[in-house]
């Protein structure tokens, strides 16, 4: 308890990025003026999506203009610039965003967001989404008929913030309702299999309180947030009875500058898990003390992750948090990173990996003793950038997803089994991108991974990627008319003991037109090649499908 109390007083692992100091600019008195359009996706902690990606117009990257004023201003700020340019004022970006799309198999995707600057000190952020589908998909089980898949999910998030002179207070919450069904096997004893169980329902909720220092207002910066998260399963399924998991989630950080180039800080996160299902309660405490140095040419972060688990096979897990970056020729960066840490495998994360999951036993916390990565980033000419990288990672209790199978004759539906094992993976990849104004944007990237597990555990690698390739081209055809093509290929790890999983092979095309710089109409075709394979959720992909919609900023 003494360690926990000390940690709470020090502050947080996960929030320091949001409030970290700006990096020192080597150019004296530079002010960057960038128009920031508000075109968001739903921002929530529980986000998953088992549906085809809906591509719709996004704001093109803007040219950066350098102002002559000494006073930078925010995209959300509506006060005029100071004396030198008192006749100029940045146009306030729209705070609202709405979108609705509909397609084959009753695919629907509706979103609504609004960022309301009530006053200069009060801000309210609202986000909501509803997406899902209801239609037939080819079953991945032998001798089974087409599966009438159903998945609908509703997300709502509300966050309010008030700024005092030196600190800000915030309060918010999120709610998610997820209704879906499993893929049934062919059954002679249960001919009307869909009526046996009905809809499965997961309900997620969160409420939190936050206090944080305003940037530059205090010599020491801090942030602290605490709240309650819940995840409940309503219907019984094989080996996973209905019930809930509740988490008291606390995180924060404290940091202070030694001088303009050096800073020290410590972050923490603590999760207290309480179950009313047959699982052990436990607490995971994560501490991250660190030191940073940045002189514009070299950036160093030296720290450690010290994570302790109390209960459920409690243990101490230590890993490095060291990052060294060198900048040269203005547009190139070479880096070497040695990181690690833990991943809490609560119901929320398992649901993000696959809503169709099943677990034989309680999941252990995933622990990465070390993740070594080195790379080179550069921009040899305006608009052109590249990234070369490689690394090696060790994970204890890595989560593996298996091939869907039936666990219980009394509930003849297919589950995606989750299993854990130590894994080592070496990886290397390359990315290249080119953009010319807002007329064309091209990107291409690939990564190769070599997985290593115990020989008798090789079947766990069934859905792990061995090679992945992503390509994207977005071009303006005429005025505000744009088209986009995306392609993803993913070869799964080869199996010696069983048949390999089918490769991911997805080509999508989309197009749209923007009216009045606010209203967008768009349409897209996904899985144009009509390929059959298991998605990253472990369940079959939709075949050829079409969606169209409209979005507006207001």
Q: Report phi then psi at 447, rounded to 5.
A: -145, 135
Confidence of residue 278 (pLDDT cuts 50, 70, 90): confident
Confidence of residue 64 (pLDDT cuts 50, 70, 90): very low
Name the average pLDDT for the chain: 83
Q: Element (H or E) spanning 194, and its range? A: helix 194-197
Pairing of strands 357-359, 31-33: unpaired
Confidence of residue 409 (pLDDT cuts 50, 70, 90): low
**pLDDT for res 277:** 87
**pLDDT for res 243:** 87
In the DSSP assignment, the letter for residue 379 is E
- More confident of the two residues 44 and 343: 343
pLDDT per position as a tens digit, 35-51: 333 333 333 434 455 55
Whole-number Å distance between alpha carbons of 283 and 287: 13
Confirm if 101 and 526 have CB atoms less than 8 A apart.
no
pLDDT per position as a tens digit, 439-488: 999 999 999 999 999 988 999 999 999 999 999 999 999 888 999 999 99
Q: Specify the pTM.
A: 0.82
What are the b/e assignments for 23-33, b being 16+ CB within 10 Å? eeeeeeeeeeb
Whole-number Å distance between alpha carbons of 178 and 155: 9
> ∠ at Cα 437 (434, 387), nearest 5°?
25
**pLDDT for res 516:** 85
Confirm if 338 and 371 have CB atoms less than 8 A apart.
yes
3-class secondary-structure state, position 7: helix
Confidence of residue 21 (pLDDT cuts 50, 70, 90): very low
Nearest to 11 by CA among 310, 255, 284: 255
Confirm if 51 and 132 have CB atoms less than 8 A apart.
yes
**pLDDT for res 460:** 92
Max distance between CA atoms of the chain, in angstroms, equals 82
For every residue of 77-133, DSSP letters joined together read: --SPP-GGGTT--PPPPP-EEEEEEEEGGG-EEEEEEEEEE-SSSEEEEEEEEEEEE
């Amino acid at each position: 308890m003494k360690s926990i109390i000390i940690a709470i007083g020090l502050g947080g692992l996960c929030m320091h990025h949001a409030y970290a100091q700006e990096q020192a600019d080597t150019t004296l008195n530079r002010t960057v003026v960038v128009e920031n359009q508000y075109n968001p996706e739903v921002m929530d902690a529980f986000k998953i999506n088992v549906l085809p990606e809906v591509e719709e117009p996004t704001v093109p990257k803007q040219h950066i203009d350098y102002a002559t004023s000494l006073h930078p201003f925010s995209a959300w700020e509506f006060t005029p610039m100071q004396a030198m340019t008192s006749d100029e004022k940045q146009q306030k970006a729209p705070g609202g965003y709405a979108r609705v799309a509909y397609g084959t198999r009753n695919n629907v995707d509706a979103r609504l967001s609004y960022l309301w600057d009530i006053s200069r000190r009060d801000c309210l952020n609202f986000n909501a989404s509803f997406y899902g589908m209801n239609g037939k998909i080819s079953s991945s089980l032998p001798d089974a008929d087409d599966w009438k898949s159903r998945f609908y999910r509703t997300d709502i998030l509300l966050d309010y913030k008030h700024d005092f002179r030196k600190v800000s207070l915030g309060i918010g919450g999120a709610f998610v309702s997820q209704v879906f069904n499993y893929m049934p096997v062919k059954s002679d004893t249960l001919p009307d299999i869909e009526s046996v169980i009905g809809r499965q329902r997961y309900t997620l909720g969160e409420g939190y309180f936050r206090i944080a220092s305003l940037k530059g207002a205090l010599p020491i910066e801090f942030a602290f947030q605490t709240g309650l998260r819940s995840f409940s399963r309503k219907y019984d399924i094989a080996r996973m009875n209905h019930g809930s998991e509740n988490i008291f989630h606390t995180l924060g950080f404290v940091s202070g500058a030694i001088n303009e180039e050096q800073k020290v800080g410590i972050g923490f996160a603590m999760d207290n898990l309480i179950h009313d299902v047959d699982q052990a309660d436990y607490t995971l405490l994560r501490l991250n003390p660190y030191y940073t140095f940045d002189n514009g040419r070299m950036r160093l972060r030296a720290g450690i992750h010290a994570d302790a688990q109390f209960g459920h096979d409690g243990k101490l897990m230590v890993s490095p948090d060291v990052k060294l970056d060198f900048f040269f020729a203005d547009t190139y960066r070479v880096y070497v990173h040695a990181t690690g840490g833990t991943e809490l495998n609560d119901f929320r994360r398992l649901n993000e990996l696959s809503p169709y999951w099943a677990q034989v036993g309680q999941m252990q916390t995933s622990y990465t003793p070390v993740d070594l990565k080195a790379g080179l980033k550069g921009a040899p000419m305006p608009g052109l950038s590249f990234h070369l990288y490689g690394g090696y990672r060790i994970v204890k209790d890595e989560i593996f997803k298996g091939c869907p199978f039936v666990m219980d004759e009394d509930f003849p539906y297919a589950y995606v089994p989750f299993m854990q094992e130590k894994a080592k993976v070496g990886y290397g990849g390359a990315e290249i991108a080119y953009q010319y104004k807002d007329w064309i944007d091209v990107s291409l990237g690939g990564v190769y991974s070599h997985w290593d597990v115990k020989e008798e555990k090789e079947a766990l690698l069934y859905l792990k990627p061995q090679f992945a390739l992503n390509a994207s081209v977005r071009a303006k055809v005429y005025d505000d008319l744009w088209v986009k093509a995306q392609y993803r290929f993913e070869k799964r790890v080869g199996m010696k003991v069983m048949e390999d999983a089918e490769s991911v092979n997805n080509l999508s095309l989309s197009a749209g037109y923007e009216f009045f710089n606010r209203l967008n109409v768009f349409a897209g075709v996904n899985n144009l090649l009509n390929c059959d394979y298991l998605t990253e959720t472990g369940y079959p992909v939709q075949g050829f499908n079409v969606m169209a919609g409209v979005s507006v900023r207001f």
